[in-house]
Each structure stands twice: as C-alpha cells, then as structure tokens.
Amino acid sequence: MAQTTGGVSFRNATLEYSLGATAWTDASNSLCTVEVSGGDRKSGEVWTATGEYAIVTFGKLEPHEITAKTVYTEVTSELYQLALAAKEAGTNWYLRWTVQGTATGKFRYTTGVGQVISCPMPGGDVSDGAPVTAGLKFKCGSIVGAAIA
C-alpha cells in the first residue's frame, strides 16, 4: 500500500466553547495546543484454575479529558480568564474544535456537557522572553466527530 498523502498540520485549528451547545464563542485567538485523553472502554479479566486463557469482559466508556494550552492574558473575555472563572463557579461548558478550520466538509469534534476541572495559575521563566502560556483541563462524558455541513 502506498504512503498516504492526506496528512495535515494543526496550523488552522479552531477551538470554541459554549454554555448551552447552541451559541458558540471562538477562542482560537489564544489557542496553542489541544490534547485529548480518555474515552477508553473499561475491561476486566479473570483466570480460572483450569483455563489457560483469561475470561475478558467489557464495560462502559471512560470520560474524556481535553487539555488546552493557551496564551496567558489578563483580558477577561479571553480563554484563560473565562476558563478560570468557569472552574471557580462550576459552570457547565461544551467545547468543540477542528484541525483544519471551519470550512464545509472539514471535521469537527464536539463534547457533551462538562466542566473545566483544572486551570493552573501561570508561571514562567524570566530569562527566556517567551510569551507566558497557561492551560486548562476540561472533563466530559462524550465527544462526537462529524463533518461540518
């Protein structure tokens, strides 16, 4: 089989948040990275005295965690400050993001309802001159991917 030519970069990524999954606010202006973990199916196994192989069973799906790194700003309408306020208030959020922008036909991932569970205070190195970044961690029960119509 020939090597794929369909690889893409995260250069045109977008990230949006919503309080009710209806009106979405673009937060891409300060987005640096998005990492997704979780969603694995629970499984278990047991061995018997007479069997050579394990008995394996499967259960429910685990929750997802989305970690985003953002440029730290003190602008109250930008992602870090909004996420910090949402964490402190226990506000329900929805997130959605794309890898290649928001044109029709591009793929978008949308979470179920969740909350910001971590939003560490910023830190940095005074000697390097790099912009300060900060992060947020969001936890939800589900993520669905679909092409943008």
- pLDDT digit string (tens) for 72-125? 999 999 999 999 999 999 999 999 999 999 999 999 999 999 999 999 999 989
Can you read off the two tokens belonging to residue 129? 């001159």
**What's the pTM?**
0.89
Can you read off the two tokens belonging to residue 110? 């949308």
β partners of residue 81: none
Q: What are phi and psi of 73, to 5 degrees?
A: -135, 165
3-state secondary structure of 140: strand
Mean pLDDT computed over 58-68: 98
Confidence of residue 137 (pLDDT cuts 50, 70, 90): very high
Per-residue burial over 35-54, b = 16 or more CB atoms within 10 Å of its CB, e = otherwise: eeeeeeeeeeeeeeeeeeee
At 25-35, the pLDDT tens digits run 999 999 999 99
The class (CATH top level) of 14-40+57-147 is mainly beta
